[in-house]
Amino acid sequence: MYTNNFITIAASAKKQIQKLLENKSQLLISIDGRCASGKTTLAAYLQENFSCAVIHMDDFFLRPEQRTKKRLNEPGGNVDYERFFEEVILPLKEKKAFSYRPYDCHSQCFKKSIQIDKNQITIIEGSYSAHPYFGDIYDLYIFLDVDKETQMERIRKRNGEIMAERFENLWIPLEEKYFSAFNIQEKNGV
């Protein structure tokens, strides 16, 4: 069930996209924000309304050998932004179809490649999608926020108590470091 806040954000995003489409034939959209803020839900909603491609940043988390102390201390270093740039951003800039290899954290291996056709709208969904390493490539930045209490309630419901502790002690602080270092929240266009 959607909350009033979600409905307002979704309606605003939809309106912004329609306005951008008046002058552009292709759009690239970032949906970044705090974990459990509704990024995947918003992307799915927009995909239903615009029949667009959605690429999940969760498919680009670091492999175990990449999770060095130095890398995790780097703002936004919790994602394989180099591979994302090569496999997704470069083909998008060339406006052509492409495929990428999603990495599954649970099985710790790459899954079958996902084919992305040339689309009018492509949404990059997930924390770190607005990483400055990618440059100023997006036509629209959307940042989703959530209060700490609601965030932890959603994480516990979605991931369980043990993983909630890991989110609270590791993943959320890494996200917050990234948001703060690169002023990600200020990029919001919705």
Mean pLDDT of 47-76: 95
Mean pLDDT of 170-177: 94
- In a 3-state reduction of DSSP, which class is residue 182? helix
Residue pair 14/47 in contact (Cβ under 8 Å)? The answer is no
- Give the pTM: 0.93
Domain 4-187 falls in which CATH fold?
Answer: Rossmann fold (3.40.50)
Q: Which of 188, 79, 78 is nearest to 143 (CA)?
A: 188
Q: If pLDDT is split at 50, 70 and 90, which confidence band does 188 have? A: confident
Fill in the DSSP letter of residue 61.
B
What's the confidence (pLDDT) of residue 173? 95
Helix, strand, coil: what percent of the chain each, to 5? 50, 15, 30
Average pLDDT, the chain: 93
Q: How far apart are CA 105 and CA 107, in angstroms?
A: 6
Residue pair 127/58 in contact (Cβ under 8 Å)? The answer is no
What's the confidence (pLDDT) of residue 190? 77
Mean pLDDT of 13-27: 94
- In a 3-state reduction of DSSP, which class is residue 72? helix
Q: If pLDDT is split at 50, 70 and 90, which confidence band does 75 have? A: very high
Instruction: Kindly list the domain boundaries of the chain, sorted by start residue.
Output: 4-187
pLDDT tens digit string along 97-156? 999 999 998 899 999 999 999 889 999 999 999 999 999 999 999 999 999 999 999 999
What's the confidence (pLDDT) of residue 4? 65
What's the confidence (pLDDT) of residue 1? 47
